[in-house]
Structure formats: C-alpha cells, structure tokens
Amino acid sequence: YFLLSQLSLMDLMLVCTIVPKMAASFLSGRKTISFVGCGMQVGLFVSLVGSEGLLLGLMAYDRYVAISHPLHYSTRMSQRVCLQIASSSWAFGLLDGLTQMVVAMTFPYCGSRIADHFFCEVPTLLKLACADTSLFETLLFACCVFMLLLPFSIILASYVRILGAVLHMHSAQAGKRALATCSSHMTAVSLFYGAAMFIYLRPR
C-alpha cells in the first residue's frame, strides 16, 4: 500500500502540474505562459513521468516476490526496501526533470514562440529553438530509454516469471488469486504506457 500511495501522489501531482494552467487558459481565453512557468511545467512533468515509470517497474518486482516467494516477502520487501524503492524513483525522476529543464531553457528561442500544444513539454520546445538540438535529442532519447523502456522491460520480465510461477501452482484457484493481486498494478501500467504510446507513437 505504501508504494501504491506513492504512485497516487505522483499521479495527483502530475495532474496538478498541467490541468490548473490549462483550465485557467481555457476559461480566460489567454493561452499564454511565462518562460519561467513553462520551464517549471517542463521540469515537473518530466520528473513525475520519469518517477512514475521507475516506480511502476520496481512495483512489478514487488508483485513477483509476493507471488513467487511469499515466505520471503517480508524480508525482501521490508519497510526499508520500500522506502528505498520510492526514494530512488523520486530522486532519479527529479534528476531527469532538472537536467531536461535546464538544458531546454538554455536554448535560444528567436523565431516563433507559438507552441501548438496545451502544455509545455520538451519536444514542443525543441521545435521552437533556433539552435542545433541534435546532441540534446540524443540525451533525451537516452533518458527515455532509462526512465521508461528499462522499467517496462523489468515489468515484462517480472510478469513472465509471475506467469511461470502461476502455471506451476497446483490449485487453479490459487493461480487466479495470485493474478488478481496484480490487477491494480497491471491497470496502472496499461494506463501509463497506453497513454504514452497513443500520444507519442501514433503516426503524425
């Protein structure tokens, strides 16, 4: 429940990063944001998305231990380990967000400053920059691999092992119960990665 509470907090903060400004712009008709405000939005958005991706990956390990090694669960997933999982997710997410925010905000924006988007994010800002952003785009790709694809690989590997453990259970009812404990995590993973794929991987 501690890890789920951290996940809920990240989601709540992510919504609060985007929705209030978006709603204010919609209601007032003034669709502008200050340079500093845009930087803050970029930093918070990237930090929270990265933290959530890492936490979802590490939570898959928690589910794997609970199902495959239930007798060792209390030692492998002690309160100290849960705190380390949560704090490392927050720390790496914050580092990623700060790095991308600082670099993105140092680019010169001398052309059009109209972003065709409902909030500030790095890919949108890069289109407005009047400088060579290729090195930063490589860094951005590396960050995405580490913060999103690596956790997704951990999730896939964990669920393959969970499925293997369930198939070796003697009781079908026990297998169903084991998979039911993963339902909340699988729902969160589906929403997180499903939304990301819909937004960023669909054809333009």
- pLDDT, tens only, 141-185: 888 888 888 888 999 998 898 888 888 877 777 778 777 878 888
Kindly report the CATH number assigned to the domain that includes residue 60.
1.20.1070.10
pLDDT digits (tens, 9 = 90+) for 43-81: 999 999 999 999 999 989 888 888 888 888 888 888 999
- Long-range contacts, stretch 92-96, CB < 8 angstroms, 24+ apart: 92/50, 92/51, 92/54, 92/147, 93/46, 93/47, 93/48, 93/49, 93/50, 93/51, 93/52, 93/54, 93/147, 94/47, 94/51, 96/46, 96/47, 96/50, 96/143, 96/146, 96/147
Number of domains in the chain: 1
Q: Is residue 166 a part of any domain in this protein?
A: yes
Full residue range of the structural domain in which residue 162 is found: 2-199
